[in-house]
Structure 1
């Protein structure tokens, strides 16, 4: 075997070992986000989007959530990691107030009997550390209700109703329901 062939063999071996180590690292999922992102979307009857929410889903993992991990009467990002984002594709009536189509940060202030629901004009927020109440577009209250069964992962869903949707948010043993109605034209 000449020197060129030996050198090619050594380089091929180094390349192969490098590929193995890279592919070995690519299969390591142990450090995945503990509160993965999720999305919920609801569509109008013509299949056009009505509303979408993007949020992260922390787990209970045996912890006390409301009044514990999520303190009562304090601003909450409504999930984990980045603050929850609500996109309205149509003008909507929320709590009797007209909210223009657009993208908003959805904050909440949970208490034992009700949650304050906040739509804020700031976007791309991490957590609630930079929450600015001067950018609030809407604040309404929704009764805190007892869930039929424990909710392990924080969850947000839409439920169709006449002329709109209910935005449902729940975790642990509690959920709230916020009606979003299409604005009258």
Structure 2
């Protein structure tokens, strides 16, 4: 099953190694395929594994600030709760083997809330054009952002030292 689902949602990585930061994100990138993503495929106001297959992971080799909140060095599972105007972004110290439970038919995540290290709220932006594949990347503007974008929605999570 895992090999077949990864064919449809390939594994991707995003890295950033500058300004005394060494950051890595690993995720599986599903495609839009003419579907309405947020509010339908990914319901609003429910926890999402932020990708497909295994949960997305975020690794930092040093202590950093995420939206001005401290995040100690380490590897975390990255979960989100998409909303219409903003998303909750959750860094969790537990990294399960798979992002959803089989018994729930993929509706319930394997996140264990007591292991949440940091939860922040990030406003959404609408993109000019639809983005076909879930994309997670680092963007350097006047500061560093971790961007998550898919369909017509994007969030930019500020990261600093």
TM-score bucket of the superposed structures, by smaller chain: 0.7 to 0.9
1:36-89 CA-partner distances (Å, limit 9, x unpaired): 0000001114xx752110000000000110011000000000010000000011
More strand as a share of residues: 2
Query: Is 1:43 aligned to 2:23, yes or no?
Result: no
Partner of 1:158: 138
Structure 1 runs, 4 residues or longer, greater than 4 Å off? none
Among 116, 120, 126, the residue aligned to 2:92? 120
Among 47, 51, 54, the residue aligned to 2:26? 54
Which 5+ residue runs of structure 2 have no aligned equivalent? 101-108
Among 36, 55, 58, the residue aligned to 1:83? 55
The normalised TM-score by structure 1 is 0.76
Partner of 2:118: 138
More helix as a share of residues: 1
1:140-161 CA-partner distances (Å, limit 9, x unpaired): 0000110121100000010125
Query: Is 1:171 aligned to 2:150, yes or no?
Result: yes
Give the direction of change, closer, same or farther, for the CA distance of 1:32–1:97 in structure 2 (3 Å limit): closer
The CA RMSD measured in Å over matched residues stands at 1.8
The structure with the larger Rg is: 1
The question of whether the paired residues in 2 share the 8 Å contact of 1:41 and 1:49 is answered with: no
How many pairs does the alignment contain? 150
- Secondary structure of the equivalent of 1:144? strand
The normalised TM-score by structure 2 is 0.87
- Taking the aligned partners of 2:58 and 2:159, their CA distance within structure 1 comes to 12
Which 5+ residue runs of structure 1 have no aligned equivalent? 1-29
The higher-RCO structure (CA 8 Å, 6+ apart) is 2
